[in-house]
Structure 1
Amino acid sequence: MAHTFDPAAATAAYLAQISPEAHAKAVAYTHGGHWLLLWGALVALLVAFLIVRSGVLVVLRRRFEGRRNRPLLVSYWIGGLYIVFDAVLSLPWSIYSDWWRPRQYGLTSQSFIGWLTESTILLVLTGLIGGLFFAFLYALIRKAPRTWWLWGGGLTAVFIAIGMLLGPPYIEPIFNKYTPAPAGPVRDEVVAMARQVGVPSDKIFIYDGSKQSNAYTANVSGLFGSARVAMSDTMFKKGADIAEVRGVVGHEIGHYAHQHALWIVGVTSLLAILAFFLVDRLFAPACRLMGGEGIRGLSDPAGLPVLSAVLAVLLLLATPVTNSLIRIIESDADRYSLVHFDEPDGLAKALIKTVEYRAPMPGRLEEVMFYDHPAVGRRIRRAMEWKAAHPKPVSQAAPDAVAKAAFADRIVVFPNLPVGMDGIALKADGTWFERHDFGWSKGRYAVAGGKLCLDEERGSRRCYAIGRTRDGWTLAQGAGAPVAVALERMRASASPG
């Protein structure tokens, strides 16, 4: 197959599934998102400027210090209150960028009240945790004024790691319901996949992501024992088949297996060190520029808006770097999925469904500057190149759990059956029978060791080697050649007699 399969043509065929209208809409949404980065940074600067000029944090700091001079506690309250003030002043922009705009493009069906409620809960959590982070950060600035930026990178890593550890068991369930994949072909498939690569099978969940977003997505979250793979229910509402599930879950398992979360923690820590180093040098001129007369210097928590403004500018300038770093691990997860689960078409079918919020074929410069995932078109092309370089055999062994899920409660129909023969009916309870006009036989069946074995009540046994092809299933008896079989849904009338 490798010499006849054309990856470029296959990629073009997948991209051709996108209608011109859908493509134009995706491009408009994506390009608008690029501008949001700039406007979001400008909004952050404006809000920081307003808070500095109002002097509200300076007043609060003086009052807190007047009651009881506990610098750690003062920094905690100032940090938490600044987060709240910033969120309230930025609310009109957040409504537009995070709710109204996605809703206009059909990417969310969440009501405004639902969005506002969840945003409020998130703000409370951010204020409590963020206040604690800033309390420790300002303690470092006071204790080590020359090297605080170095220790600040370590502090950032610690807080990110703690957030990852606590996210799945305590924070994420506040917003969504996570349940193990229900019994059926999907669960059998993902359990078999997990066992194949040594990932705990109880780490794969389905969550009601359609509450917040209509986007076709899955994710991996957590760290160490709390890490898990989660598929949004939007995947199944948009018709994800087993091949897509294998491609997508394989990608997320790649994140899990390669410990990309730890990689993110480490890289973020290094970037934080660089950012804090620059803040240390830029804080004083930025404070003068913003008119922070009452701010006593970098160690004053009332100067937090100035620190945040500098970080907002640095974060905007670092966008190409951070995006490129994330694209590296996303590409690695794609490759993991292909190497271990070999579902290039399943991955491609899933990727096509993400085009609605990610234009498929940007220019190279645009991708480097703005894309935190590789472009869909290029990811599909890599999958098709993998398919060309790794042709599947006509038939291959299938995991028992997958085969059992596929054959249970189905009628196995061989080609060229005699007139009147309906095939082998395999009931979900483990019983089977062959029904035709000349009588019937019954017994029990089992799928194990890559074989379907039929044990008749009269004592005879027949076993078929189970194979899987791109188009379906095969059975081979003894040394015979594999024969393609059809699996028909069990009919109510399909009973012996």
Structure 2
Amino acid sequence: MAQNFDAAAATATYLAQLPPEAHAKATAYTHGGHWLLLWGALVAVLVSFLIVRSGVLVKLRHRFEGRRNRPLLVSYWVSGLYIVIDAVLSLPWAVYSDWWRPKQYGLTSQAFSGWLIEGAISLVITGLIGGLFFAALYALIRKAPRTWWLWSGGLTAAFIAIGMLLGPLFIEPIFNKYTPAPAGPVRDEVVAMARQVGVPSDKIFVYDGSKQSNAYTANVSGLFGSARVAMSDTMFKKGADIAEVRGVVGHEMGHYAHHHSLWIAGVMSLLAVAAFFLVDRLFAPAARLLGADGVRGLSDPAGLPVLSAVITVLFLLATPVISSLIRIAESDADHYSLARFNEPDGLAKALVKTIEYRAATPGRLEEIIFYDHPAVGRRIQRAMEWKAAHPEPASTAALDAAARAAFVGRMVELSAPAPAGQGPLILKSDGSWFQRYDFGSGQGKYAITGGRLCLSADGGAPNCREVVRVGDGWALRGEDGVAAPVVLKPIEDRAG
């Protein structure tokens, strides 16, 4: 295959699965999204200007201050109410950019009332949590007026980490129903994949993402014990097969295994330090430009619209940096999926279905500036190049199924001499294995997938051997390349 397979031609074939008008529509949606970044920033600055000139936050600050010195509480209430006021004034723009426009392109079927209700719930949560963040930030400004921006990185990291930890547990279930992947071939395959690479196999969920979006997608969210891989039900409504699931879930497992969430959180914290350093220098001229006459300085929460306007402009300018950092993680997750599960065609088939909301073949400069995922055409090209470099003579799905049928519920014993005192391996139907020694025992989880039998004990890395069919029998090939024949016996034949 490596000599005859043309990766470029295969890529073109995948992209040609969509007609030219579908590609044109995707390009129009994507290019319009680029302009939305600019117009959205201008709307945000305009709303900040209107709030500043109205003096509403200055009046609220006076009222909350009263006769008692309660700067922390004042900062919390003023910040929380600013978030609400800002959202209300920005609502017409949000309706257009977040609901009406995706609706026109067929990317959502959600009714306006449902979108508005979810937006209101999200606003309450954002106001409560955002109020806490800004209250802590203004406390830093008051306590360390010269170096507050340096400490802001730790504060940002702490809030990102808390949000990542608690999001899957308390926030995401408010908007969607998450259920363990249902019993069947998909769940069996995903569980086997998880065990193969040491990812918790009980953290694979399907959620009703079609409530909000018609986009073909999956994600990884959470931190430490709350982390999980979740597939939108839209994947299956659009006909995802086992190969696609392996490619997509393998990608999400890459995010989990390589701790991309922590990596991105760390980078965002460093960017926050840089942004707040510039805010410290730019706040006074920005306040004069916006006409913030009643604001008493950077430490005044009534000046939050000024701070917000400066941050908006800075992060707009930083779009290429942020996009590129996330794109690197996404590219790494693609490579993880290909290297661990070798499903280039499954990944490619899934990627084609994402073109409707992300144009497939942008220019290189456009991709660097705006794309937080590698361009679909480039991702498919890399998958096909992987396929050319790693030819697979035949699908391993049938081999895996036959091996599971033969091995599970049996004692698996190598005919070659085993280490002293080591008995045969017992593979149980619940996915666990057990092995008895003369002076103890070993146990853990197993997976038969991708033509390999992988054993993983608690806290240990998977130990894998290639499954080989030898006539009517079986063999296991180790890293030394030697295939040892396997003897299968009923469990009851094992004494003791």
Q: Pick the TM interval, shorter chain.
A: 0.7 to 0.9
Gap change, CA 1:226 and 1:22, over 3 Å in 2: same
Q: Does the alignment pair 1:155 with 2:155?
A: yes
**Pairing 1:269-418 to 2, within 5 Å after superposition:** 269-394=269-394, 396=396
- Identical-residue share of aligned pairs (%): 81
Quote how far apart the aligned CAs of 1:393 are.
2.9
Equivalence for 1:477: 472
Which digits, 9 at most, give the CA deviation of each residue in 1:390-414, with x for residues without a partner?
A: 0013464868579769xxxxxxxxx
Q: Does the alignment pair 1:201 with 2:201?
A: yes
Quote how far apart the aligned CAs of 1:232 are.
0.1
- Report the secondary structure of 1:334's partner residue: helix
Structure 1 alignment gaps of length 5 or more: 406-428, 430-447, 452-465, 469-473, 481-497
CA contact (8 A) 2:467 2:474 kept: no
The code of the aligned residue for 2:360 comes to P
**Pairing 1:95-106 to 2, within 5 Å after superposition:** 95-106=95-106
Aligned equivalents of 2:59 and 2:194: distance in 1? 56
Gap change, CA 1:41 and 1:332, over 3 Å in 2: same
Q: TM-score normalised to the size of structure 1?
A: 0.82
Equivalence for 1:108: 108
Q: TM-score normalised to the size of structure 2?
A: 0.82
Which digits, 9 at most, give the CA deviation of each residue in 1:1-58, with x for residues without a partner?
A: 1011010010011011111111110000000000000000000000000000000000
Equivalence for 1:415: none
Which digits, 9 at most, give the CA deviation of each residue in 1:400-451, with x for residues without a partner?
A: 579769xxxxxxxxxxxxxxxxxxxxxxx9xxxxxxxxxxxxxxxxxx9899
Structure 2 alignment gaps of length 5 or more: 406-428, 430-446, 452-465, 476-496
Quote how far apart the aligned CAs of 1:297 are.
0.3
Quote how far apart the aligned CAs of 1:265 are.
1.1
Equivalence for 1:238: 238
Aligned equivalents of 2:401 and 2:180: distance in 1? 16
Equivalence for 1:417: none
Q: Does the alignment pair 1:191 with 2:191?
A: yes
The code of the aligned residue for 2:33 comes to G
Quote how far apart the aligned CAs of 1:66 are.
1.3
The code of the aligned residue for 1:198 comes to G
Which digits, 9 at most, give the CA deviation of each residue in 1:241-274, with x for residues without a partner?
A: 0000000000000000000011011100100000
Aligned equivalents of 2:368 and 2:206: distance in 1? 32
Quote how far apart the aligned CAs of 1:68 are.
2.8
Gap change, CA 1:200 and 1:479, over 3 Å in 2: closer
Which digits, 9 at most, give the CA deviation of each residue in 1:176-229, with x for residues without a partner?
A: 000000000000000000000001100110000000000000000001110000
The code of the aligned residue for 1:154 comes to G
The code of the aligned residue for 1:118 comes to E
Q: Does the alignment pair 1:172 with 2:167?
A: no
- Report the secondary structure of 1:18's partner residue: coil
Q: What's the Cα RMSD here?
A: 2.4
Aligned equivalents of 1:402 and 1:238: distance in 2? 29
Aligned equivalents of 2:194 and 2:398: distance in 1? 14
The code of the aligned residue for 1:221 comes to S
CA contact (8 A) 1:250 1:340 kept: yes
Gap change, CA 1:399 and 1:250, over 3 Å in 2: farther
The code of the aligned residue for 1:73 comes to L
Equivalence for 1:254: 254
Equivalence for 1:64: 64
Which digits, 9 at most, give the CA deviation of each residue in 1:129-185, with x for residues without a partner?
A: 000000000000000000000101110010000000000011000000000000000
Aligned equivalents of 2:38 and 2:378: distance in 1? 26
Q: Which has the larger radius of gyration?
A: 1
CA contact (8 A) 1:185 1:402 kept: no
Q: Does the alignment pair 1:216 with 2:211?
A: no
**Pairing 1:53-132 to 2, within 5 Å after superposition:** 53-132=53-132
The code of the aligned residue for 1:86 comes to D
Aligned equivalents of 1:449 and 1:359: distance in 2? 37
CA contact (8 A) 1:2 1:391 kept: yes
